[in-house]
Structure 1
Amino acid sequence: MLVASLATAAAVSFLGIIGFVGLVCPHIARRFVGDDQRFLIPSACIVGAVLLLASDVAARLIIAPYVLPVGIITAFMGAPLFLYLLIRGYSH
């Protein structure tokens, strides 16, 4: 438990808060692989890694000599997707 807490603290201190990744990635992965948990959990991990990698690259390239916080990029990408999921959920 202590190791997990320290790893989480280190990740948050370097990357900032990246909360939308955990909310959005399982829904994106479910679109590709369906509801089978054997495939959904590993694919959600891969989607999360790809989303964070793309966010990091975008954060480094948007204003080239400076680096934006990754949390800002994930919020800009994750918030519209999350709103879409909420609206779609109410319509079904």
Structure 2
Amino acid sequence: VIASSRVGMVELKLRELSTFFRNMGQINFEIWVEAIATKTNDAKVVVNFLKSNIFCRFGVPKALISDEGSHFYNRAMSSILHKYRVAHRIATAYHP
């Protein structure tokens, strides 16, 4: 399972997800952050990042957890996730 977010909230969201999955009985969930610097934050950049930095290096995940950002929730992302049979789960944004 991959959890995605924008860089500002990555550490906090991954900690929460780690706790959530630990409570659900999944003991093999580890926190690992992959990040790159980009000029734009759009669907094409995210899809290329997933294909070249995640799928090729670590294999195709069973699920992708993201917020409802337009760079995650769009036709290009939906198409690639459908192609690789990855379930897309939407998480609500954290607002303290």
TM range, smaller chain: under 0.3
- Give TM-score, length-normalised by structure 1: 0.28
Structure with the largest fraction of helix:
1
Structure with the largest fraction of strand:
2
- Give TM-score, length-normalised by structure 2: 0.27
Could you say which structure has the larger radius of gyration?
Answer: 1
